[in-house]
Amino acid sequence: MPFLAAVSAARTMAKKTPTQLARTLASVVDAPKLHAHYPVVPGSLTAHLQLRSGETFTGGSFGAASATVGETVFTTSLVGYPESMTDPSYRGQLLVFTQPLIGNYGVPRRTRDSYGLLKHFESERIQCSGVVVSDYATKYSHWNAVESLSEWCAREGVPAITGVDTRALVHILRGQGSTLGSLSAGAQPLDAASISWVDPNADNLVAQASTDDIRVFNPAGDVHVALIDCGVKYNIIRSLCDQGARVSLVPWNHDVMANLSAYDGIFISNGPGSPTHCTETISQLRRAFAVYQRPIFGICMGNQLMGLAAGLNAYKLRFGNRGHNQPAVDLTNGKCVITSQNHGYALDDSVMPEGWARYYVNANDGSNEGIRHLEKPFRSVQFHPEAKGGPLDTGYLFAEFVDSVRAAKQAGLAATLSEDCSASAQAATA
């Protein structure tokens, strides 16, 4: 299909309702529940992945000898398992890697950069509840590795299973959607009737992943950005600091309105779970939209929260978009970029609120990939321009944001309309 025709098709897909979108996705024919067993070396510990829908996978355990329940999701990323596993957006999830061989380059040392951030991880610990792979590499080789993936998982109390037919598992998940699963280590699977199937998305995972205190990074930066932490990846902080910004990391429910004029710009991070739990953040953004004149930008969860604040609704995708190869079309110029993504919810942009427009659209399924205000400097994207890991096609968005913040500051743009009106009144009476 010619590229312009593909863009047109993506735009058409983007206009469909969530129900219409669901009908276009893959499905599987009803079949007997799969029970797969992978032969384990005698004397080795076995592990069991049990889906709430009835399918079971038995293989080898290479993580903690424990049990957990989470939403079973898959990522198509080929590299970057340390970054993916420490991404707070995977909180509460059993992470299935479709890349067959995992663990071959071990786990890197905990080196920190000049901002005090871990260089090779996206947070301080493993965030996913469990790990599912086809083939775990028992021997690793990399100049920067200090331990195996097995040692890391065991040390942090995260169960992991190898020997799973991940192609069959992903086929199930694509057909019936992301499903609650139980991952346990032991000789026998857990009694299904005794498993407490707690959906992590029923909780406010953002509140769990967010910082409790305000933290400042790159204090000598020439512009001050408030970064609302919904479960931020370290490379988002780093990317803003690299552009010369002073970054104040604030809790997800921080009252930014109380000191709005102190910020030259506002940034909303990625995060786990459903955006509908973040009512305080949505309320803060809605109030900021009404009076704030300086740039606002959101990524992933930030895109969804900005959309909800603008008047859109969010819905749960059948199996989400997670990986490093998602194509997104910029609707302002028709260009397609390859992006890193990790989300299970999306905005319903079939009808846009007055003053707002779609910014990016997913070229695969037509789901929303960003929104923008038609007059004010407010924009957001569903994908991850900071990558880690993934393609670097959209890293320029950080430069554009900080440059716009800097330009607004240099132009003397007041933070709010009331300040602008007050300054005008003072000038008139002078």
pLDDT tens, position by position, 315-341: 999 999 999 999 999 999 999 999 999
Regarding beta strands 296-299 and 265-268, do their DSSP bridges make them parallel or antiparallel, or are they unpaired?
parallel
Instruction: Please classify residue 379 by burial: count the beta carbons closer than 10 Å to its beta carbon, then call 0-12 exposed, 13-18 middle and 19+ buried.
Output: buried
The 3-state secondary structure of 166-196, one letter per residue: HHHHHHHHHHHCCEEEEEEECCCCCCHHHCC
Q: Is the dihedral of CA 159, 251, 198, 77 positive or negative?
A: negative
In the predicted structure, residue 12 carries a pLDDT above the cut 70? no
In the predicted structure, residue 1 carries a pLDDT above the cut 80? no
Cα–Cα distance, 209 to 198 (Å, whole number)? 18
Half-sphere CA count of 164, side-chain side, radius 13 A: 34
277 is catalytic: no
For residue 38, give Cα distances in angstroms to 133, 162, 163, 164.
12, 9, 6, 7
Which stretch of DSSP H or E encloses residue 50?
strand 46-51
Please report the pLDDT score of residue 26 as a whole number: 34
Please report the pLDDT score of residue 42 as a whole number: 83
DSSP state letter for 32: P
Longest pairwise C-alpha distance within the chain: 88
**Average pLDDT over every residue of 333-361:** 97
Cα–Cα distance, 131 to 84 (Å, whole number)? 11
Cα–Cα distance, 110 to 124 (Å, whole number)? 9
226-267 tens-digit pLDDT: 999 999 999 999 999 999 999 999 999 999 999 999 999 999
389-426 tens-digit pLDDT: 889 999 999 999 999 999 999 999 988 876 664 444 44
Please report the pLDDT score of residue 389 as a whole number: 87
Please report the pLDDT score of residue 197 as a whole number: 96
**Average pLDDT over every residue of 359-376:** 98
Cα–Cα distance, 313 to 379 (Å, whole number)? 17
Other C-beta atoms lying within 10 Å of the C-beta of residue 151 = 15
For residue 175, give Cα distances in angstroms to 33, 163, 382.
13, 22, 23
Kindly give the interhelix angle for 279-291 and 301-310, rounded to the nearest 10 degrees.
60
From the list 83, 122, 369, 386, the catalytic residue is 386
Cα–Cα distance, 377 to 216 (Å, whole number)? 24
**Average pLDDT over every residue of 120-136:** 98
From the list 120, 254, 343, 384, the catalytic residue is 384
Which amino acid, 240? L
Please report the pLDDT score of residue 426 as a whole number: 47
To 10 degrees, the CA torsion angle through 70, 72, 76, 82?
A: 20
132-154 tens-digit pLDDT: 999 999 999 999 999 999 999 99
> Which of 20-24, 94-98, 117-121 shows the lowest mean pLDDT across its residues?
20-24
Regarding beta strands 378-381 and 368-373, do their DSSP bridges make them parallel or antiparallel, or are they unpaired?
antiparallel
Rounded to two decimals, the pTM is 0.91
Please report the pLDDT score of residue 21 as a whole number: 44
CA 70 to centroid of chain Cα atoms: 16
Cα–Cα distance, 367 to 349 (Å, whole number)? 8
**Length of the chain, in residues:** 430
CA 192 to centroid of chain Cα atoms: 30
3-state secondary structure of 405: helix
pLDDT category of residue 30 using cuts at 50, 70 and 90 = low
300 is catalytic: yes
295-316 tens-digit pLDDT: 999 999 999 999 999 999 999 9
In the predicted structure, residue 3 carries a pLDDT above the cut 70? no
Cα–Cα distance, 85 to 116 (Å, whole number)? 20
Please report the pLDDT score of residue 418 as a whole number: 66
From the list 300, 324, 343, 369, the catalytic residue is 300
Please report the pLDDT score of residue 32 as a whole number: 80
Q: What is the token pair recorded at 152?
A: 């890391």
In the chain, the percentage of residues whose pLDDT exceeds 70 is 90
Strand ranges (E), 331-412: 336-348, 356-362, 368-373, 378-381
Please report the pLDDT score of residue 225 as a whole number: 98
Please report the pLDDT score of residue 39 as a whole number: 85
pLDDT category of residue 286 using cuts at 50, 70 and 90 = very high
Please report the pLDDT score of residue 410 as a whole number: 95
Which stretch of DSSP H or E encloses residue 333?
none
196-216 tens-digit pLDDT: 999 999 999 999 999 999 999
384 is catalytic: yes
Cα–Cα distance, 263 to 201 (Å, whole number)? 32
Q: What is the mean pLDDT of the chain?
A: 92
Please report the pLDDT score of residue 430 as a whole number: 45
Cα–Cα distance, 373 to 357 (Å, whole number)? 6
Are the beta carbons of 323 and 359 closer than 8 angstroms? no
Please report the pLDDT score of residue 10 as a whole number: 52
Which residues make Cβ contacts (< 8 Å) with residue 145, sequence separation at least 6? 105, 106, 107, 108, 109
Phi-psi region of 165 (alpha: psi -120 to 50; beta: other; left: phi over 0): beta
